[in-house]
Amino acid sequence: MAINPKKHEMPTQAPEVRAHNFNEVALGYPVEIAVDEAKRCLNCKNRPCVAGCPVNIHIPEFISKIKENDFEGAYQIISGSSSLPAVCGRVCPQETQCESKCTLGIKFEPVGIGRLERFVADWHNAHATEAPAVPEQNGHKVAIVGSGPSGLTCAGDLAKKGYKVTVYEALHTAGGVLVYGIPEFRLPKAIVAKEVETLKALGVDVEPNVVIGKTLTVDELFEMGYEAVFIGSGAGLPNFMGIPGESLKGVYSANEFLTRSNLMKAYRDDPETPIMKGGKVAVVGGGNVAMDAARTALRLGAEHVYIVYRRSMDELPARREEVEHAMEEGIDFRLLNNPVEILGYQNPDDPRDPKNGFVTGMRCIKMELGEPDAKGRRRPIPIPGSEFTLDVDTVIIAIGTSPNPLIKSTTKGLEVNSHGGIIVNEDGLTSREAVYAGGDAVTGAATVISAMGAGKVAAKAIDEYLMRSSNT
Amino acid sequence: MYRIVTKTPLNPTVTQMEIEAPLVARKAKPGQFIILRVNADGERIPLTVAGTDPDRGTVKIIFQIVGATTEKLNHMQQGEYLQDFVGPLGVATHTEGIKKVCIVGGGVGCAIAMPVAQEFHRLGAEVTSIIGFRSKDLLILEDEFRACSDRIEVMTDDGSYGRHGNVTVPLKEMLEAGEQFDLIITIGPLIMMKFVVLTAKPFGVPVTVSMNPIMIDGTGMCGGCRLTLHRDGKNITKFACVDGPDFNGYEVDFDEAMSRGRMYADFERHAYTEACNLFRKEA
């Protein structure tokens, strides 16, 4: 049988429909298509895809199980390496990881590994009835700071090895960026909750409403009997551009806008937490967070949504799939444009006019690309005299974040770099004994899967460390 | 879940509660705040800690009914549970080296000012308190302030109790009489704090103000609580949740803070009316 040169398309909600609802965009492979896609895998000997996965999922093995219609078997193989398969299958940039290494991809389109992973995880969540067995306890306690992707991964891996793990979360719901940052239409919150429940069934305790660095310190965690601590406290304060008008009403950081919509459910019809809905919206930035914010604004009822990015399409850092989805939905990409000022309303005759201080527009300047910079990206240069005003009511700044400041300021001996990222070695060990860290708290804003990879590395190192110290 | 251990109305619109939250009670210092949610799907609101009892594991909060969430909170009874209660957040009020302090509180801001005054008193500083209210029936915590103050002025806007006038009147008199405060700490409505700063400015006395902007996570993630400081001719963005809530009063852009505080005024008014109607129906 000849191999299909293309991977099976992911069924999705039609753009004109999904642009007005918060339901998931991608609908997932049905069984027949999943099995058909699995058959495209050559099961090649050198398995380059596994090396392309930050958590080294045994990809050809789980795909073989799909070919045999043994979907639970496939799930067991994935869950041996990943604690969050339903999440990864949705939000990993597979095109630059496992799928970019796929042997089939040399000649044709690579195997749709991410889509198959999602299929397996969803099948398991829909059909599995037995709770996972709680592993035999080894008597050691580990504390995890933050319930985002790195923390949950680290917790899952250690729990499977028999550690008693407690995850401390500052917010009221577990999941970190998976619940406050990534929107419902890309990652339904019920899926995150399900993954957290699976970890709890493994014996992991999740304590919400505890801010490590404030409610408890890292030192107190050790006093409480934890023998190692993993810090996965995530990204912190949003960056702003430093241009006039950023404090006007209607200017949000992407973190705030997405938190209001996702965590606080402001997208619902009668929310308790407010958010600006409707009008014209400009999102500044070109990453995945910018795409999420733009598509959220659209679904909240915006008439028109712009992405304003200072480089060109080739440099846009967001996943291609997200950019395509955004374009299909009608997001207006204004590339090679850079904001210089946000404009606000001020009634000259009435200082108490309730409209005073709200955004009315954004001044931008056109850019062209010059020579490549140190990172090899072509540097954008303003074109003199090219300023113009974009007529908008809401501006969302999505130009990145810096690591959360709370823990470093209250943990003696924890070294951070000039950007505020916690310094770690290749095992995730910080400058403090038995304190490990990973994810955005270390790297600054990055991807879910790289955070998961860091959680996995740290879990292995913590296990080796505690086994070593308990044997001496 | 966090049990409401006691509930005491202080005046028709201000209520005091003690909440069982042992970890917070052990840590909270004057000037810090907590964030709570009354129920699942509820809004997260910041409230400053009005006192703690580490032995009983309770944290005291004092709130004014200003919107839907505080209305719902006020309908909760002793023995019932709050969904979420997290803290202590923010940086505690700096007390080192202050021998003579003037605490200027306005309205429900006095609830925040009170533990600060008590802390200075405990540390042996000379405490002058100026507390102001719109009228006599809104007066709160007078006895508590008297107990920890070496000198106190109670002001009402309408003259129905204490002295007639706002808090800047006695402050100005004292400063003009040559009173040398190491620090003035003011907590209350933004407009009051702005005028306290203007009053103190000619005398060169340092002023600390306590900012209470719109906030969501309170842990340095969302950036909603940002405010602008003017320092050395530059505008600096700070975040009240992790850098504050206390700031140098001479640096804060009050006009911007007041404008930002009204961002959701329409929404809040609507939500408040809805909440009130809901409770009326139930009653």
- Sign of the torsion formed by the C-alpha atoms of A40, A44, A50 and A51: negative
> CA A129 to CA A163: how far, in whole Å?
24
Same domain (yes/no): A206, A299: no
CB A267 within 8 A of CB A300: yes
A65 and A162 share a domain? no
Tell me how many residue pairs between chain A and chain B have CB atoms under 8 A apart: 110
For the segment(s) B2-89, the CATH number from 2.40.30.10, 2.40.110.10, 1.10.3720.10, 2.60.40.420 is: 2.40.30.10
Exposed, middle or buried, B211 (CB in 10 Å: 0-12/13-18/19+)? buried
Q: Is residue A3 part of a domain?
A: no
Domain boundary among A83, A100, A127: A127
Beta-bridge mates of residue A338? A365
Shared domain check, A335 and A255: yes
pLDDT for the residue B268: 81
Nearest residue to A122 via CA among A21, A171, A191: A191
pLDDT for residue A454 is more than 80: yes
ipTM (interface pTM): 0.91
Name the domain count of chain A: 3
Q: Between β-strands B33-37 and B207-210, what pairing exists: parallel, antiparallel or unpaired?
A: unpaired
Tens of pLDDT, residues A4-53? 899 999 999 999 999 999 999 999 999 999 999 999 999 999 999 999 99
The pLDDT assigned to B173 comes to: 96
Per-residue model confidence (pLDDT) at position A472: 62
End-to-end CA distance of chain A: give it in Å, rounded: 59
Residues of B in Cβ contact (< 8 Å) with A246: 237
C-alpha span between B39 and B24 (Å, rounded): 19
Q: Does A415 lie in the same domain as A387?
A: no
> Mutating which of B219, B221, B263, B264 best tests the A interface, going by the most A Cβ atoms within 10 A?
B221
Distances (CA, A) of B182 to A233, B127, B145, B250: 39, 11, 19, 15
Residues in A touching B34 (Cβ below 8 Å): none
Summary count for chain A: helices (H), strands (E): 18, 16
A105 and A66 belong to one structural domain: yes
Q: The domain that contains A315 carries what CATH number?
A: 3.50.50.60
For A43-109, list the strands marked E by DSSP.
none
- Cα B85 from Cα B65, distance rounded (Å): 18
Res. A1: pLDDT tops 70: no
Please name the fold of domain B100-261.
Rossmann fold (3.40.50)
Cis peptide before A271 (omega within 30 of 0): no
Residue B283 predicted with pLDDT over 70 = no
Chain A positions in Cβ-Cβ contact with residue B87 (cut-off 8 Å)? 211, 214-215
- Residues A410 and A406: their CA atoms lie apart, in Å, by 7
Quick: pLDDT tens for B247-269. Answer: 999 999 999 999 998 888 888 88
Residue spans per domain, chain B: 2-89, 100-261
Taking the CA of residue A238 and the nearest CA in chain B, the distance in Å comes to: 6
Residue B156 has pLDDT above 90, yes or no: yes
Whether residue A189 is found in the same domain as residue A216: yes
CA angle, residues B55, B61, B67, in degrees to nearest 5: 160
CB contact at 8 A, A176 and A148: yes
With a threshold of 0.90, does the pTM exceed it? yes
Average pLDDT along chain A: 92
Q: Please write the tens of the pLDDT for every residue from B58-100.
A: 999 999 998 889 999 999 999 999 999 999 999 999 999 999 9
Pairwise CB contact (< 8 Å): A260 & B216: yes
Domain limits at A75?
A: 15-127
